[in-house]
């Protein structure tokens, strides 16, 4: 194998690895956008669930402290 062919293969490999890093960033951003969208869509249900959980924690802690 000649040096120029080997050099071009290494250059191609470096470019491929560089592209993969960029894709990871894009994927993370898309996941965050989807999660934010779900929170916005189910905001009322989530608020209700969190309030119920905190009420349960408060009532159970009051029974333990009594």
The pLDDT of residue 19: 65
The pLDDT of residue 29: 92
Q: Is 42 helix (H, G, I), strand (E, B) or coil?
A: coil
Between 50 and 5, whose confidence is greater? 50
Q: What is the 3-state secondary structure (H, E, C) of 4-25?
A: HHHHHHHHHHHHHHHHHHHHHH
CB 17 within 8 A of CB 10: no
Give the C-alpha separation, 40 to 43, whole Å: 5
Q: How far apart are the first and last CA of the chain?
A: 82
Assess whether pLDDT exceeds 60 at residue 3: no
Between 13 and 64, whose confidence is greater? 64
The pLDDT of residue 42: 95
């Amino acid at each position: 194998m000649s040096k120029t062919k080997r050099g071009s293969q290494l250059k191609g490999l470096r470019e491929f690895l560089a592209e993969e890093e960029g894709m990871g960033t894009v994927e993370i951003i898309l996941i965050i956008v989807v999660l934010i969208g779900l929170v916005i869509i189910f905001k009322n249900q989530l608020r209700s669930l969190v309030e119920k959980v905190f009420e349960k924690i408060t009532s159970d802690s009051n029974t333990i402290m009594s």
